[in-house]
Amino acid sequence: MLDKAELGRRVKLERLARAMTLKQVADSSGMSPTHISEIERGRTSPTVGALLRIARALKKPATYFVEEELLPSVSVVRKHERAHHVITEGGQTVAGADFLTTGIPAGRLRVVELSDFERGPLATRPHGGEEILLVEAGMLKVIVGSEEFELGAGDCIQFRASMPHRVERLGGETVRALWVTASDGMIAP
């Protein structure tokens, strides 16, 4: 959780970037310039309602001011900059995962490239939102709820992420797939 000094710094930086005065933000948000100044100086924390009004006045999502990591409005990840993770289940390596996106303020999407899929199943916890899985190479079995789907290169599946789901490798071919998550809540890469 951000402290009030950092939150205030972000509000002030955004106000200055938009060349707005305290009075302009106050008029647009329905708050007093003094209250906004107190927030900017880290002397007080805004209520949720006040933060929403300030965010609207500055044309930013409220999460921009409270996310732990200050994310850029546009995120570019070069191939050599991708965060690589090894996914394990029960102490065994299941697959490699390259995060193709780092996120933007209030972002709800995450794109991961699965590779080196060695074993299965790869299970994820049900959560709000949707998921899309595009198989680029190899064969996968995707189990959503009680239904099973066999997918080959070029096949794609979309489903509600609130349903129990898991993925298993089929056959001996190398598997590569794109996994897109659209969450109802914020996602951390």
Q: Give the model's confidence band at 40: pLDDT under 50 very low, under 70 low, under 90 confident, else very high.
A: very high
What percentage of the chain exceeds 70 in pLDDT? 93
Q: Can you give the pLDDT at residue 185?
A: 53
d(CA 110, CA 83): 12
Q: Can you give the pLDDT at residue 128?
A: 83
Residues 95 and 170 reside in one and the same domain: yes
Residue type, 158: Q
Residues 53 and 134 reside in one and the same domain: no
Residues 55 and 126 reside in one and the same domain: no
Q: Can you give the pLDDT at residue 156?
A: 96
Residues 42 and 91 reside in one and the same domain: no
- Does pTM top 0.85 for this prediction? no
Across residues 130-145, what is the average pLDDT? 93
Tens digits of residue pLDDT in 5-21 = 888 988 998 899 899 99
* Per-residue pLDDT at 153 exceeds 80: yes
DSSP string, 73-95: SS----GGG-EEEEEEETTEEEE
Across residues 159-183, what is the average pLDDT? 88
Residues 90 and 113 reside in one and the same domain: yes
Residues 17 and 50 reside in one and the same domain: yes
Segments forming the whole domain that contains residue 40? 4-65
Q: Can you give the pLDDT at residue 135?
A: 95
What's the CATH code of the domain at 53? 1.10.260.40
d(CA 49, CA 151): 46
Q: Give the model's confidence band at 52: pLDDT under 50 very low, under 70 low, under 90 confident, else very high.
A: very high
Q: Can you give the pLDDT at residue 186?
A: 43
d(CA 57, CA 48): 14
Domain count, the chain: 2
Q: Can you give the pLDDT at residue 106?
A: 66
Q: Can you give the pLDDT at residue 189?
A: 39
Q: Can you give the pLDDT at residue 174?
A: 83
Residues 174 and 86 reside in one and the same domain: yes
Residues 85 and 160 reside in one and the same domain: yes
Residues 107 and 51 reside in one and the same domain: no
Residues 92 and 39 reside in one and the same domain: no
Last residue of a domain, one of 43, 65, 87: 65
Mean pLDDT of the chain: 85
Across residues 151-160, what is the average pLDDT? 95
Residue type, 137: A
Tens digits of residue pLDDT in 53-99 = 999 999 988 877 887 776 777 888 888 888 877 877 777 777 788 88
Beta strand extents in the chain (DSSP E only): 83-89, 92-99, 109-115, 122-124, 129-137, 139-144, 147-151, 156-160, 165-170, 176-183
